[in-house]
Each structure stands twice: as C-alpha cells, then as structure tokens.
Structure 1
Amino acid sequence: MSLHADAWSTLASWRPDYYTQEALRQAFLGYLAARPDACQRSCAAGHITASALVFDAGGEHLLLTLHPRVGKWVQLGGHCEPSDSTLAGAALREATEESGIADLRIDPVPVHVDVHPITCSLGVPTRHFDVRFAVRAPRGAHPVRSAESLDLRWWPVDALPDEDGELDMMLAVLR
C-alpha cells in the first residue's frame, strides 16, 4: 500500500469526537482525493505531515522540541519521506530521529489533525496538513536533542509551555 493510500485509509476510518476535528478530517480527505502528490514534500500547495505526541512511560510528561523555524515548543514530527509507507510509521520515524529514543510505541489511530501555514524546506509559503499520533516512551527514556531542534525536554502535561493553547487542545482531545 502506498503512503497516499494509507493516509486515505487512516483518515477515512478515524472518527474524532470533536466537530472541528471531523470538519478537518473531511478537508484532509478532500485534499487527498484532489492531490495524488499530497503526501510529498514537493507538493508546494501543501502536504501531509506526521507528528508524535511523545509521552513518558507514566503518561505524566510530554516531550517537546523548541522548533528553530517556528520559535516555540511543539510536538515532534515532520515531513513524510519516500521510504514511509504509513502515516503512523512516518510519525514514529520522526519521533525516533528527533528524540534519540529507541523502542517508542505508537498508537496507529490519529489523535488530532491540524492545518497550519509555514515556510518549510521548499523556501516558499505552504501548508502542513499535520496528522498527529500518541506515542509512549519506554521507562527511563533519556532524549537526545537532534540538529533539528534548539532544545528538547520533558514537560509536565499540566504545565506545558503553550502560548497559543494548541498543545492543551491536543491533550484535551486525548482525555
């Protein structure tokens, strides 16, 4: 199965609890139907990305990265690569690369979706159609910051550095 087919299948079978998430899910499906290149970074109109909400083993802390382009603390994740065959696999790959943590476990059912404008590696304004998954780190996991991050650290889920409320909104969906 191709990544595009997996993205379609994953989003077609997901049933979010919130109306706004359902509206975005429908928009993602429409975008995938209209754009066979929707999962490719080269799709300048916008492309599907995959993110991971990485929780510690006890679920009490969330691993966040200080993103150099965005300038704020966000979940781990990024572009799908040609070698990715599933969205969950892309999110897990990104989480592993950006955290340095082995043996992460992912729930393959999305927990949240978002569309946001960004100037990414294409160097032109575009949109990320981000599909987000919950990931659990093994007990005693120690993250190692990658070159893609200015900082990387565990934050208590009840004290996140969340200026715009986006992280709290994602966690509310999980609760």
Structure 2
Amino acid sequence: MHRLPLLNLLRQHSTTDRDEQAMTQAMISFVEANPKAFERSLLAGHVTGSAWIVSPDRQQILLIHHRKLDRWLQPGGHADGDPDVAAVALREAREETGLTSLQLVSSAIFDVDIHPIPARGDVPEHLHYDIRFLLEADPNEPFGDSDEIKNIRWFSSEMIDNYTDSESICRMIRKI
C-alpha cells in the first residue's frame, strides 16, 4: 500500500496546536479513504508537499509570491502520484526557487495544513492536504527563474507579518 509511509508519518506527527491536530486527524482519514489521494485528478482534494525553507541559523525564511494565488507562500506543489511527499516538497522547492543547496532537515513532518484552493478555469474549488517539511538552504545562493512565481525572497520572521497574515505561515514561524 503506497499510502502507508505517509500514514505512518502522520500518526507520528505531534503538535500542540489544536487546529493542526484536527487537520492531522482529518488528513489521516482522507488518505485512508482515498486510494488516489496523491492524484490531482481527485477533484475534491489531494495531497501536496511543501517546503518550509530556513537559513542554517534559522534567522531567515524563504517565501515565494505565487503567481496564480497572488500570495506569499512557502514553495510546494502537487504530488502527481508520488507518495514520497518529502521528495515532492524537495522537488517543488528546487523547481520554484532554483536553489541547489536545499537540504531536508528531517524526514519527519514539520507541519500539516488543509486549505481550500479557489476554482480556476475548469478546475473546481478543492482542498490541498498539504504536508510540510523543514528544509535548509544557503541564503547567499542566487535564485533561479520560475514561471510559477512573481517574486522570491528571504525574510526575517518579523518582516513576514508585513506580507502575509496567514495563520498557517504564522504557525510555522512559531515552530522555528
């Protein structure tokens, strides 16, 4: 069963945040009930992988300004059938940032979030069951280009408040 590694990671994930605890339980139920949980074709929602990228000293956090969603977010994207969500997060982070110094800090889940994605074209509104992993990168490495993003930059945790009020982002900042 290709869902088992993710289910094991989700069952091992612990947090003191009640909202994240509830989302973790909801994600376990979703993955158990949906053999195609990693497929974008599952229109109600699907598993995605994201990267919370920090500098080695944890003083800087990298965010992208997502072109389609027009918001500052962490890099990430669709699993597209790949049940190795950590590999998905790393792949998406490389594609969206162009950074080659990216390193997975731990194979454990860093954060869990379920959030709606608005309808766009013929794709209806749906949920992203997002699994986030902690990555490190060299803040002095130049960025690459990506058609998916408008902007990319390193922020101090204090600066992020000026760019987003997302509780999901704030929760990950508190974890650092």
1:128 matched residue in structure 2: 128
2:68·2:148 contact (CA, 8 Å) conserved in 1? Answer: no
Deviates further, 92-101 or 17-26: 17-26
Q: 2:103 aligns with which of 97, 105, 111?
A: 105
Deviates further, 10-19 or 117-126: 117-126
1:55 matched residue in structure 2: 54
Secondary structure, counterpart of 2:32 in structure 1:
helix
1:150 matched residue in structure 2: 150
TM-score when normalising by structure 1: 0.89
Shift of 1:159: 0.9
Q: Compared with structure 1, are the counterparts of its residues 40 and 64 closer, same or farther at alpha carbon in structure 2 (3 Å cutoff)?
A: same
Give the residue type in structure 2 aligned to 1:116.
Answer: H
Q: How far apart, in 1, do the equivalents of 2:137 and 2:63 lie? A: 13
Q: How far apart, in 2, do the equivalents of 1:159 and 1:8 lie? A: 35
Shift of 1:70: 1.4
2:88 matched residue in structure 1: 90
Q: Compared with structure 1, are the counterparts of its residues 122 and 170 closer, same or farther at alpha carbon in structure 2 (3 Å cutoff)?
A: farther
Q: How far apart, in 2, do the equivalents of 1:38 and 1:120 lie? A: 20
Q: Compared with structure 1, are the counterparts of its residues 5 and 122 closer, same or farther at alpha carbon in structure 2 (3 Å cutoff)?
A: farther
Give the residue type in structure 1 aligned to 2:92.
Answer: E
Q: How far apart, in 1, do the equivalents of 2:121 and 2:7 lie? A: 24
CA RMSD of aligned residues (A): 1.9
Mapping 1:21-100, distance limit 5 Å? 21-82=20-81, 84-100=82-98
Q: 1:166 aligns with which of 165, 168, 171?
A: 168
Shift of 1:67: 0.8
User: Is residue 2:18 matched to residue 1:16?
Assistant: no
Q: Compared with structure 1, are the counterparts of its residues 158 and 57 closer, same or farther at alpha carbon in structure 2 (3 Å cutoff)?
A: same
Secondary structure, counterpart of 1:158 in structure 2:
helix
Give the residue type in structure 2 aligned to 1:162.
Answer: T
Kindly, what percent of the aligned residue pairs are identical?
29
Structure 1 gaps, min length 5? none
Give the residue type in structure 1 aligned to 2:168.
Answer: E
Q: Compared with structure 1, are the counterparts of its residues 138 and 122 closer, same or farther at alpha carbon in structure 2 (3 Å cutoff)?
A: farther
Q: Compared with structure 1, are the counterparts of its residues 129 and 122 closer, same or farther at alpha carbon in structure 2 (3 Å cutoff)?
A: farther
TM-score when normalising by structure 2: 0.89
Q: How far apart, in 2, do the equivalents of 1:126 and 1:162 lie? A: 22
Instruction: Report the count of equivalent residues.
Output: 172
